[in-house]
A and B are shown apart, each in its own frame.
Chain A
Amino acid sequence: MSRRPSRLLRASAGVLVFGAVAVLASTPLLRRRRLTVEVAGDSMLPALEAGDWLLVARRPPPLDASAFGRVVVTRDRTGRLLVKRVVGLPGEVVQIEDGRVRIDGRPLDEPYVRGETEAAPYRALTLLDSDSYYLLGDHRPASTDSRDLGGVRRDAIEGTVVARYWPRGRVSRLRPPARRFLEA
């Protein structure tokens, strides 16, 4: 039992983070506003790995441009929870062309993506309603998302991922990437 202080410190720091999330996630009052989920599958690599535990705030993404890049949770037709990233905003035209996503014709710069973005047949262009978002998995070749499902309505989005609280080494807040375009 030769515990060095650094290890002890690290261990207690981990417990502290845990404790904080435990309070956030399990307090009955907050339960209605928070949700915790475990990631299954690889479609959000490299940002999220299978087995990651996420803290989700039960609120839809904002209607303005700050919604871009947020990771959200919605349900598919079978009622299964899905975790995907907001790429297209209400009212925008999303196109998949030459392995890239174009927003209103401008190619997006997407450093968070793995693999090439391919369009589903007959779904190369999507016009988003004033209350719908275009959601994509970061690992494009391994994701079923708005390319197949079309835009997702705001009221169908169950929450926005705030942070990953497990595994301990990868505890972090999930910040949306900046929206950048490649020069046309």
Chain B
Amino acid sequence: MSLRTTLVGALRPEQLAYAHCDIPCGIYDPHAAQLGAETVEKMMTLIADLGVSGADDKAHLASLGRYVAVKEQHAELVKHEVRIIWGDYFKPPDLAVWPEMNDKVWNIMRVASACRQGVNVDDAKALRAAVNEFAEKFAAIKAAR
């Protein structure tokens, strides 16, 4: 017994070797996805409000171009952020808390793609609702662990 204690003492490593991560890893947050979805909706609304103008109205075209670019980026960002939480944070036992998880995530991917392709404000609203639900379930799963 005391021999063992002595041995353990003698064997204790001299130093720590870090298998580490400088960024705050292990911290998962659906907030970025929610912001992304909100941005997509905002851009869709701006596009709808832009109305029609002459084909050679450069200022009008520039605005439209910017709205579309931001909408595409943020829809993709939503997919990215959701995928990370789904793939790296959620584990099979979490299905007990949220049985429809995989279908719901699949749905987010599809709606986000629809948002990239089109300019339908309803798609953006659906995306926002789905991402908010995702965030709520994330909180529930985190609380259940």
Contacts and interface: CB of A to CB of B under 8 A. Distances in A.
Contacts of B14: 35-37
A26 B7 CA distance: 11
B145 interface: no
Interface stretch (B19-27, B33-41, B125-133): B19-27
A174 interface: no
Interface string B10-23: 11111111111111
B97 interface: no
A73 B84 CA distance: 29
A38 B13 contact: yes
A184 to B, nearest CB: 25
- For chain A, what secondary structure do more than half of its interface residues adopt (helix, strand, loop), or is it mixed? mixed
A22 B11 contact: yes
Interface stretch (A2-10, A39-47, A123-131): A39-47
Contact of B18 (A15, A26, A83): A83
Given A42-B26, A142-B25, A148-B22, A81 B16 contact: yes
B20 A38 contact: no
B92 interface: no
Given A38-B16, A142-B26, A43 B11 contact: no
A53 B13 contact: yes
B92 to A, nearest CB: 15
B11 A44 contact: no
Contacts of B13: 36-38, 53-54
Contacts of B93: none
Contacts, number: 101
Contacts of B7: 15, 18-19, 22
Interface size of B as a range: 20 to 34
B11 A82 contact: no
B88 to A, nearest CB: 5
B114 to A, nearest CB: 23
Nearest to A159: B17
B87 A39 contact: no
Contacts of B88: 115-116, 141
Contacts of A170: none
A144 B22 contact: yes
Interface string A127-162: 000000000010101111000100000000000000
B58 interface: no
A103 interface: no
Interface of B: 3-4, 7-8, 10-23, 25-26, 84, 87-88
Shortest 6 CB-CB distances between A and B: which pairs?
A: A44-B19, A37-B17, A142-B25, A41-B20, A36-B13, A83-B17
27 contacts: A15-B4, A18-B11, A19-B7, A26-B11, A35-B15, A36-B11, A37-B14, A37-B16, A38-B17, A39-B16, A41-B19, A42-B19, A43-B20, A43-B21, A45-B19, A53-B13, A54-B17, A73-B17, A81-B15, A81-B16, A81-B17, A82-B18, A83-B17, A141-B25, A141-B84, A144-B20, A144-B23
Given A54-B17, A81-B15, 12 more contacts: A19-B7, A22-B7, A37-B14, A38-B13, A40-B17, A41-B18, A42-B19, A43-B25, A54-B13, A137-B21, A143-B19, A143-B20
